[in-house]
Amino acid sequence: MSTMTNTANDTHSKTIGYLMWIFGFFGAHRFYYGRQITGVIWFFTLGVFFIGWIIDLFLIPSLDASADRRYAQGRYDYSVAWLLLVIPPLGVLGIHRFYQGKIITGILYLLTGGLFLFGWLYDLLFLNGQIDELNRRQG
């Protein structure tokens, strides 16, 4: 698909990536750029004992370019969705779900604290895929 190789495709923000890097020893920037496995590893090892976290400061541009190639641009902005997910208490209230047009699950999150945080954790792992799917459907 042409959107996968289009260099003008700017789905993720380096600025947001660097802001999330501040909390990157918990894997925040890794999750943002769609690197769920290393995000989980960073979460449980504090960025592989802070060494990987420091190295990632220099890897943000390549992580951003990789995410831009992987995910489709469209109506839904990845950075907006991620900020709505990670800024307390918006994520557990389901505001990112409302943004995606998922009203029923947004209400469920609102009433259950992000389905007792399990739904919020699910979205931490799969939000990029959800936004990508919505954008591809629109395009």
pLDDT of residue 94: 98
pLDDT in tens, 12-26: 999 999 999 998 889
Structural domain boundaries of the chain? Answer: 1-73, 74-139
- 8 Å CB contact between 63 and 53: no
pLDDT in tens, 40-91: 999 999 999 999 999 999 999 999 999 999 999 999 999 999 999 999 999 9
Closest listed residue to residue 47, CA positions, set 68, 22, 83, 66: 22
Q: Which residues contact 38 (CB under 8 A, 6 or more apart)?
A: 27, 30
